[in-house]
Amino acid sequence: PIHYEIERIIFDKLGINVSAEIHRTYLGTAGDFMYTDLKSRFSLSETITELLEQDEAFRCDYFKSLPGIHLNEGALSLLHDIKRAGLSLAVATSSSPGLARILLERCEVFSIFDAVVTTEEAGKSKPAPDVYLLAAQKIGAEPVNCIVFEDSPNGIRAAKSAGMVCVAIQTDSVGVHELSHADDLIGSFREITMERVLAIFSRGRVTG
């Protein structure tokens, strides 16, 4: 939701009126995906590189200025449970490498993850599966043995295209019907235990 609000501020600064319907199509995607589309739609004079640099600077300053950044409720205890179970953890994000690090460090969870992979490194934005496939590779896991937690339709498409089990987390930004392609749906990480993680995995696992 914070990223969504940041983008509305950026759109205002660019002097463009992006409808909610169009804006929703960018949820979970990388900046180059969004700005390539916006430049085409609104004939923006800035280059994609300039737009991305402005976006990066604004987002980083915005998040650094916040008095506190908090994880979703239940997320931290789940992360610790997963680590105690001896499983690997990776972040596969559409955020830039610099912004991803800022957010993870400010939430004090950077060291928990075995790998942090961005679409900039992977080469293609979600809904392409590249960032998830690279994340799996970095932690030495086969895609079929991975569970993804996602909150956007584009992210769910990416995870499923990668052949992974996907659990959707509902937020105020996305309706339940838009998350229907996931293997399971939760309203909060508080609903998740290791037992449920294993049950979801067993039920949604791709075999073949």
Which is nearest to 167 in space by CA: 191, 152, 147?
147
- The alpha carbon of 52 is separated from its chain's Cα centroid by a whole number of angstroms, namely 18
Average pLDDT, the chain: 90
180-206 average pLDDT score: 82
| Dihedral sign from CA coordinates of 87, 88, 93, 97 | positive
pTM higher than the cut 0.85: no
* Pairing state between β 147-150 and 184-186: unpaired
Report the pLDDT value the prediction gives residue 208, as an integer from 0 to 100: 30
Report the pLDDT value the prediction gives residue 66, as an integer from 0 to 100: 87
* pLDDT, tens only, 55-95: 999 999 998 898 888 888 999 999 999 999 999 999 999 99
3-state secondary structure of 144: helix
pLDDT tier at 205, thresholds 50, 70, 90? low
Provide φ and ψ at 192, rounded to 5°: -100, 130
* Pairing state between β 115-118 and 147-150: unpaired
Residue 52 confidence (pLDDT) above 50? yes
- Tell the burial category of 9 from Cβ atoms under 10 Å away from its Cβ (0-12, 13-18, 19+): exposed
Report the pLDDT value the prediction gives residue 207, as an integer from 0 to 100: 38
Residue 206 confidence (pLDDT) above 50? no
